[in-house]
Structure 1
Amino acid sequence: MTDPRGFVMAHASAPQSQRARGWAIGGLVFGATVMLIIGFWQALMGIAALAAEDFFVVSPEYAYEIDVTTWGWIHLGIGVVVFLVGLAIFTGAMWARVVGIALAIVVAVANFFFLPYYPLWSLVVIALAIFVIWALAAAPRMIDQDA
């Protein structure tokens, strides 16, 4: 379709499937990129907890008190796995999206229990995990892989 000046109107002439594919790719790239960031941050939190046990301090009345070294290993392990799945989401594979959503839930829950140790940081990571769940779940399925 062209406008009165003879220019091609790309948006109006693009088939519906191409626009849906664009949204799908955008959502997946967003989700995968945020997963890479979360994975990197989780790994850094784990390394910080393992390197300096007195870096994170918790109040003595916390019901779910876990040793800081244990938290370090938990965050480091989650971080590495989340980073790797974030890379896999760039392929567009459905299994990577499903695992990514499951891992984002694990990240949110782990950081909820980590709130007393580092509250603001944990809230930011929880918010990012929720955005990842939304991005991976809302991106339409890429039906036409060859287009």
Structure 2
Amino acid sequence: MAQPSTPAAPRVPGGQHDSRSAWAAGGTMFAGVLLLVDGAFAIIKGITSIAEDEVYTRLGAYVFKFDVTAWGWIHLILGIILVVVGIGVLKEAGWARALGVAFAACSIVLNFMWLPYTPFWAILSIAIDVFIIWALCTDTDRYPTPAV
């Protein structure tokens, strides 16, 4: 009876398997899921900020002073974009990888500016975004590099 074939890790010169590519490929799919999760977090932050100004309190004086409702709209719009890009990454759409990196970078900046309101969740979102950028930038086998 024939055994079902499983995809092998890419071979490198010398006949060895490149386990880094396998990790990066799995990381890309995980990055797609994390984009969805990060987008959901941003949507929740946005909705709670828009609905009730008193949900978040600011810790001390801070340079990036915006109305919490304005922050809510920023997070809501970013969250929707992250969810759409996450779906694109999971469907292996070529446009999604570059946009995933770009919007994860925007999310890092916005969450840094959001630190005084929810430090723990902002740091968690920054860590998720850093992993997303790493995973999308290291997996070059799944997405063809555009010709320059």
Q: TM-score, normalised by structure 1?
A: 0.81
Give the secondary structure class of the aligned counterpart of 1:54.
helix
SS of residue matched to 2:116: coil
Inter-partner Cα distance in structure 2 for 1:62 and 1:15: 49
Hey, what does 1:98 align to over in structure 2?
98
Write the distance in 1 (CA, Å) between the matches of 2:101 and 2:9. 30
Shift, 1:143, TM fit: 6.7
Give yes or no for the alignment of 1:137 onto 2:137.
yes
CA distance in 1, matches of 2:8, 2:57: 56
Equivalence for 1:26:
26
Match of 2:10 in 1: 16
What is the CA distance between 1:92 and its match in structure 2?
1.6
After superposition, the CA RMSD in angstroms is 2.5
Match in the other structure for 2:119: 119
Q: Percent identity?
A: 34
What is the CA deviation profile of residues 90-127 of structure 1, one whole-angstrom value per residue up to 9, with x for unaligned ones?
12233210100000000000000000011111000000
Deviations 1:6-32 (A, max 9, x none): xx9x89x94736x66754541221110
Q: How many corresponding residue pairs?
A: 134
SS of aligned partner of 2:54: coil
Q: Which has the higher contact order (CA 8 A, sep 6+)?
A: 1
- Higher deviation after alignment, 56-65 or 26-35: 56-65
- Which structure: larger Rg? 1
Q: Is contact 1:24-1:142 (8 Å) kept? A: no
Superposed displacement of residue 138, structure 1 = 1.1
> Structure 2 vs 1, CA of residues 133 and 61 (structure 1 numbering), >3 Å: closer, same or farther?
same
Q: Please tell me whether the aligned partners of residues 53 and 68 of structure 1 are also in contact (alpha carbons under 8 angstroms).
A: yes
Q: Distance in 1 between matches of 2:9 and 2:129?
A: 33
The Cα shift of 1:74 comes to 0.3
